[in-house]
Structure formats: C-alpha cells, structure tokens
Amino acid sequence: DAGITQSPRHKVTETGTPVTLRCHQTENHRYMYWYRQDPGHGLRLIHYSYGVKDTDKGEVSDGYSVSRSKTEDFLLTLESATSSQTSVYFCAISETTLNTEAFFGQGTRLTVV
C-alpha cells in the first residue's frame, strides 16, 4: 500500500468551528489532492497541490483552504464548518502529471452537527 496516512479518521464537530484534516505521505510524491465523497456524487476535487506552497482550487473549493509547507504534509481546513460539509474526505497522491496513477488514503469521516 502507498504510504498515505489521514488523521483523524473520524471527527464530529459543531457548526461554526474550524476543523483541520491532515494528510501525510511517505512516498515523496509531488502531487497531493483532497477529495470529498458524497452519495450520488462520486469523488469531487476540493483542492490540490503540485508542490510545496503550490496549490490550486478544485471544483468544490468554497469553504475550504489548504496548505502545504512540506512535501509530505497536505492540510485541509474548514474555516467555519457547516452541515453541508459533512462528508468523507479522501487524500490522494500521485508522482507526476504524466503518471496519473493516484493513490488514496483511507479517508476521514467528518460529521458537522
């Protein structure tokens, strides 16, 4: 298995509170991605990173921010959590844009009450 660790694996938080999810990789891959998975929508890209301090928005980026200060870590922050952000969040990594075999972490289940 690719060395990807997501933390926490489960979290319940209250509406309006900030939440940070962490993705840690040991593969030294350049590209890292955050997806959310909701019934009927498959996996939708939130943000991605193509290097340290280099990030870009995906299709559902509103309400989320990311940071990548080290190659191995990619953080996803919900500045003020809302119930619509209740979801399962997956981190993925890939080595290059040519080799697009992205590998996924085990996911973080976030519930906003």
Partner 1 sequence: GQQLNQSPQSMFIQEGEDVSMNCTSSSIFNTWLWYKQDPGEGPVLLIALYKAGELTSNGRLTAQFGITRKDSFLNISASIPSDVGIYFCAGFLGTASKLTFGTGTRLQVTL
The residue ranges that bind partner 1 (CB under 8 A) are 4, 31, 33, 35, 40-45, 48, 50, 56, 58-59, 90, 92, 97, 100-107
Minimum gap (Å) between residue 90 Cβ and partner 1? 5
Find out whether 52 and 70 touch, Cβ atoms under 8 Å.
Answer: yes
Nearer to partner 1 by C-beta: 14 or 100? 100
* DSSP-derived secondary structure letter, 2: -
Nearer to partner 1 by C-beta: 38 or 80? 38
User: Per residue in 90-99, is it b (16+ CB within 10 Å) or e — as a string?
Assistant: bbbbbeeeee
Minimum gap (Å) between residue 107 Cβ and partner 1? 5
Question: Residue 45 corresponds to which tokens in the numbers above?
Answer: 């890209």
